[in-house]
A and B are shown apart, each in its own frame.
Chain A
């Protein structure tokens, strides 16, 4: 394998690496996909339909194993006895944070990366997002606008399969939607109450990468409700379920698991990346692979780490870092504020099936009006449910009537939590920590990140608006949550190799191409110039497909 030649190397097999592999192979390139973790074979590794009574600790998880090896990863609820294997081992993958500034870094190292466990929520950006930095004088301007990416949203949505309800909102553009999932009666009531009371906000069903009908040979969702364990019917979008099978079908994809990329190799004569250095995850052997084109899709901070570890005499502060911005402007969505309450009525109804999706309340702050105490905005994700037997842990009683009570559904609850935009701050950054390495001997990151006043003010507004909206909807016993998550916990880390027009202030150009190294493309979250408030993955997907199209056209013109 080491001697084989490839047209392109793709580093990482997650959401963006899967797309890069698919696009580049379908355009005729021979691609070597380097995955740091192990292979995943769905027939063996997915266990979504194993009943809970067959698990040793039932729903309480394997506490000792989690605390031993995934004490940080298990901040993500889905890192449990089923899906813990799709999150990294914290002991093998250390990093550190500046004192007093914790950052929760959640990672998945296996074929498919975090695309196995992602939240599947998919929302387009609009020019409200792309123009914000320029209009407000924050950081630098995006080098693209909605029109540049819109056809690529169409393209990736058409392949991935996104269910949703068109709403005609200019700031949350509709996509190529499969039929929407149903709302519960409670959610419909809340939607109707908003319609009557507000002219600036709506409630819609979540837009998600889960199929509501057969789509391109993949089955419709069967509503088992635990997508994060994999999906043997391929009913949600992940690299394993969608892009990698398409790439493999071309016969031009080679997947190499256990390939932990150490750094890129820079050829100072051609000023191109000539290949990558890896450490074999099993043998710890050092190897090199060469290609004409390199796509870094290792995830925001991993791609950044690889570049920082690739310093050369020409680039002493990290490859492709003549701007000095590599590693800076780290963002994540802040969450934690919201509200929840009991909804009266509909006692004779309950949901049937486990909907892997919730409702969405699109951004309404700083859209047509202007907030005094913060820039940008937030959206809410939420859901309704009838309380179940687990409420018994907080109820007095025992015996036959207690059993009967717990078996019957409890009251309807409705709750929402905000996801807020984070501004790009140069002072939120990562660097290589001298003298500290991971299990493969690769230098690790030290992260410096904290929320600013804008995020804190927005978080307070998220809580108070949530309380108001629930009251408007007639919800009782409203509990308001006002707290802000630890940065990183949103698992939407972005921004550390940003796009821009000017090579002096950005790492990548408008096609995700490194200003300094023409055959190097970075299309994961690190490319983002701002964070919007919507879930980022569909935007990475669209940018990846667009970058692949550009890269191959440049290759054909011998421009790379």
Chain B
């Protein structure tokens, strides 16, 4: 008898112990998860309709990711399935050139042979909403950002067209816009190179542009202008390769994640295809991501001077993390940020031009962070690198009474000491605080 009761006693103790252990183990994975569980259970029980378990959790994951930053999101299983896996992480677009028309977004033109043109979008159309969210009143760069996205994903635009009574919806699938090739042009004895995007052909395009210009212009070549305005970015490896073309060594960019062990650094190899000639990089609010890497690298190494307005400030890497092999969708989450060689986070500050030059359409806000004071980094980032000092004393603006084809370009040509092409109406003002220390 005594033995049996002992056995029963130990059984009881073990039972309670086991229960307690499991309870603790669950409580450990966060009181917060329990709080979510409670909210979830309440909605399931009390909402006026049956919400559907899947929809609820998808809404929850979507909300959780979406509030992290503008580039983090959740791809539900249907969207994830539709994405082309091999272009995962690459940014595609629709082939739309847009402009601001009062607060309305107007299509300047759809590029030939792109999702936009194939969908029948026309010059003059107004975009009212993107994926159900109205875009009126937003800044142009923010709208561009919403139009772009991983290749293969869908987007619904609500279009208002002159002559058509009601707005209508158009569904498009984003694509890598292949039309965005590097172009070049001789501007007197300056080589002008326009880089509209960073795709698989960009580095090769830059190399052949430099080669061609060197041939065309010859030994009198004064320097190069790399135009990265409205270049929304693209492939990291192309940005590194292009930066490398002009640098003889040193770090180009570092990609830093959550843990110090995640840091990746990319260095330049010997060789400068521009043979030390001065370079001016043109930037504006539409210059983003890969373009900011190039501008930041060349700026920090003083290999180029950056002219224009503050860039977009999109220097982060998103990783796609499938859930349950994609059956439950995937997280599209920011996992790292780009840092320039001097340690500035592109995401936080963008690239600040050495020479602030406005376009005729650039607004005041584009220069707000610059004039007369140091650009302040938010407190918690102070440890992230040297304080960004802006020694921009003033913003150079075009004369409102004159018309210019491209004032920023004309000013850059002036900085390189090039006699002006005919289309410039007047000489840009001399900049007394600067000596052109890049001429040889």
Partners in one complex: no
